[in-house]
Amino acid sequence: MDRRYRENRRYGNNNRNYNRGNRNWNRSWRNDRRYNWRNYRKANRGHYRLGRYYSPYRSHSYRRWNIGVFLGTSFYGSRYWINDPWRYRLPAAYGGTRWIRYYDDVLLVDTYTGEVIDVIYDFFW
């Protein structure tokens, strides 16, 4: 990584972060009844039973990622995208972010930097 880029990112001078235009990700979406994925999952179990997850690397095993971790681009390529978040009662992802599947978890990732912005553990069966 270019040192100048790293320094700019550290001090918030980078225009490529997910906070473009002061639009912070609001994690209180879980309190919004439109996105009650737990009850929806109980009634629609088949939507959440996906096929086997294939890691981008053979030697990679599951790790429980946290908010703020930076992922490599292989982990959030198009094969891992959740193209229709509403199908799973997730809020839409805006401004260069994507909901992705990681094993049975769902991660909201900034596709410019690879930063994990939000996580739901054990989302899929």
pTM: 0.69
Check residue 87 and give its pLDDT.
86
Range of the domain at 99: 23-120
Mean pLDDT by 10 residues, the chain (125 residues): 42 41 54 67 68 80 91 90 88 90 92 92 83
Q: Quick check: is 43 in a domain?
A: yes
The DSSP string of the chain is --HHHHHHHHTT--TTSTTGGG----GGGGGSGGG-HHHHHHH-GGGG-------SSTT-------TT-B--GGGGSGGGB-S-GGGGT-PPP-SSEEEEEETTEEEEEETTT-BEEEEETT---
Q: Quick check: is 15 in a domain?
A: no
Q: Quick check: is 51 in a domain?
A: yes
Q: Domain containing 64 — which CATH number?
A: 3.10.450.160
Check residue 89 and give its pLDDT.
84
Q: Tally the domains of the chain.
A: 1
Q: Quick check: is 18 in a domain?
A: no
Q: Quick check: is 56 in a domain?
A: yes
Q: Quick check: is 4 in a domain?
A: no
Structure tokens at 42: 């109980």
Q: Quick check: is 78 in a domain?
A: yes
Q: Quick check: is 14 in a domain?
A: no
Residues facing residue 59 across a β-bridge: none
